[in-house]
Chains A and B, each alone.
Chain A
Amino acid sequence: MSVEVSGIGFDDPVLLASGILGSTGASLNRALRSGAGGVVTKSIGPRERTGHPGPNVFVDDSEEYALNAVGLSNPSDAFTDEVEKVEGPTVVSVFGGTADEFADVAGTFAPYADAFELNVSCPHAEGYGVDIGADAELTRDVTAAVDEAVDAPVWVKMTPDVTDVTEIGVAAQEGGADAVVATNTLSAMAIDVESGRPILGNAHGGMSGSALKPVAVRCVYDLYDALDIPIVGVGGVSSAEDALEYMLAGARAVEVGTAVWDGVEVLGEIADGIETYKKDNDLSHDELVGRAHELTPKEDGDGGEG
């Protein structure tokens, strides 16, 4: 069942996504006990932050999506006390406003991280996240700075809010990324009709959940054609079928976020379902990953770069 992504082995290809139940060592261990093959921490930055005023998160009545604007709340360096308790493969998510800040934070957590995930894609914190990850040059610079600062593999988390996600993916790869993660939430807003106000305290937020999945699957599919480095899929995975969609599109592993609101046990259930599918279809993990590309009719002059 074990898979390898960028040289790191995971017991199964289902990881806890960043920003989900990931504020403490104990909560990350709980995800591991529930069947996650690895965990991604909440994004940690150069300074402690309490985040935006609430409402910070809500799940829509349709249950098809959640919106959040937590605002990169984090305890900064004090998180070292938490991450050192984690008893499984640990991807430390970091953010900063500049390449140097990214490199400094990654350096602080180097003793605890099996890999780093660079949050250049949070859509609701000015000066951070997507302000970097929508720009190819900044993405390349940040990735290169972290790659130079630490020995561990560097994963770069993509925003879906760009015209061409492959341009950003290629920039990350050129900067030395060992994997890309696709995607972060989609910039979004909801308005409370009765009061007339945006629901989120920050007005703008990020959309996650099932409604994000077709957008992020398309990103993974396109990145698979464009890149040589592995891809981790994330966005609206709540079942093994969802995870398999990402893998067929080209993801070696998936991250699960919003779906834990039904119970963290979903992590293990998804991992078991992937394994069953591979056995039933007599597919190795390598054969599964990207298989949809082989089965896609290609038009002349299109999609030949993979």
Chain B
Amino acid sequence: MRPITLEVTDRVKEGDGIATLRFDRSFDVSPGEFGMFWVHGVDEIPMSFAYDDGVTVRGVGEATDAMLSLSEGDTFGVRGPFGTPFDVPDDDVVIVGGGTGMAPVALLTEAASANGADVTTLIGAGTADELVFEERLSRVADVRVATEDGTAGYEGLVTGLLDDVTDEKGAPSNVGSCGPEPMMSAVLDRFDDRPGDVQLCLERYMKCGVGICGSCCIDDTGSPVCSDGPVYRGDELTNGEFGVYHRDGAARKKYF
């Protein structure tokens, strides 16, 4: 598809260097699906939908900084939604999110709740100012937060909080996660006896978004994250690059 032009209808500051842009068109989006967002004159980058009509942007580079500088009435383009989304559970699920991974975590939390699932969502951040969607998700799920500096909730990594929640509630039937890959890898490690029950949403460098160019293919399956993923089950990610490295725009390996 060609890019569609969107107009910013609202801009909400979510935290330090993080904002949500709502736009003038609603998409049929499933949790984990992404768009290729085109900041005119700058670049095109993959970002997960955080709402059916919105994205949550964290400034991590030229294109995301340019996205953050947009205000109401400004326009940008999008291709999508693309990708293979989460299977939405209907029994019980613990969802672990952090950083830019909170967009799919939010949609998954809401979709699982709407499906009748008992949902516990854990939000991790470095500090309280970086926590996003705590209030939004508390309406539909048991939300717990962890901050590395202890400024809110559990003090430490969100995986420590996950251990506490598992002790308290017992092992969940389903696990979902999106966020920094070392975090997701640590989540998967805790369920290494049943990795197929763990769904993980990956971030990779992408150019085409539709499974042609190969920029996002992961080792050692060669699977293109943009079309087979971004959501994989843990048993599809063993013996490969998951949690170890990713590739940049020149296909050079970058270790986490």
> How near does chain B come to A87, taking the closest CB pair, in angstroms?
11
B8 in the interface (beta carbon within 8 A): no
Task: State whether A26 touches B251 (Cβ < 8 A).
Answer: no
**With the chains together, A66 CA to B210 CA distance in Å?**
11
Q: Which of B152-160, B180-188, B189-197, B215-223 contacts A (4 or more CB under 8 A)?
A: B215-223
Residues on B with C-beta less than 8 A from A76 are: 250
A233, chain B: closest CB distance, angstroms: 19
User: A24-B222, A29-B222 known; A58 and B79 CB under 8 Å?
Assistant: yes
Nearest chain A residue, comparing its CB with the CB of B209: A57
Contact of A21 among B213, B221, B252 (CB under 8 A): B213
Cα of A32 to Cα of B214 in the assembled complex, Å: 15
Is there a chain B Cβ closer than 8 Å to A20's Cβ? Answer: yes
Chain B residue total in the interface (Cβ 8 A):
41
CB distance from B255 to the nearest CB of A (A): 14
Known: A58-B3, A70-B213, A195-B5. A75 touches B252 (CB 8 A): yes
CA distance A23 to B248 in the complex (A): 11
Q: Is the CB of B207 within 8 A of A59?
A: no
Q: A50 on the interface (CB 8 Å rule)?
A: yes
Contact with B along A73-111 (1 / 0, CB 8 A): 111101100100000000000000000000000000000
Asked whether A74 and B208 contact (CB < 8 A) given A19-B213, A53-B43, A197-B40, the answer is: no
Near A by CB (< 8 A), chain B positions 102-130 give: none
A75 lies within 8 A of B251 (CB): yes
Q: CB-CB < 8 A to B209: which residues of A?
A: 57
Interface flags, A10-51, vs B, CB<8A=1, else 0: 000000000111111111111100000000001000001111
Is B203 interfacial (CB-CB < 8 Å)?
no
User: Which residue of A23, A53, A66, A68 contacts B251 across the interface (Cβ within 8 Å)?
Assistant: A23
Give the B-binding residues of A (Cβ under 8 A): 19-31, 42, 48-51, 53-61, 66, 68, 70, 73-76, 78-79, 82, 190, 192, 194-195, 197, 199, 201, 257-258, 260-261, 263-264
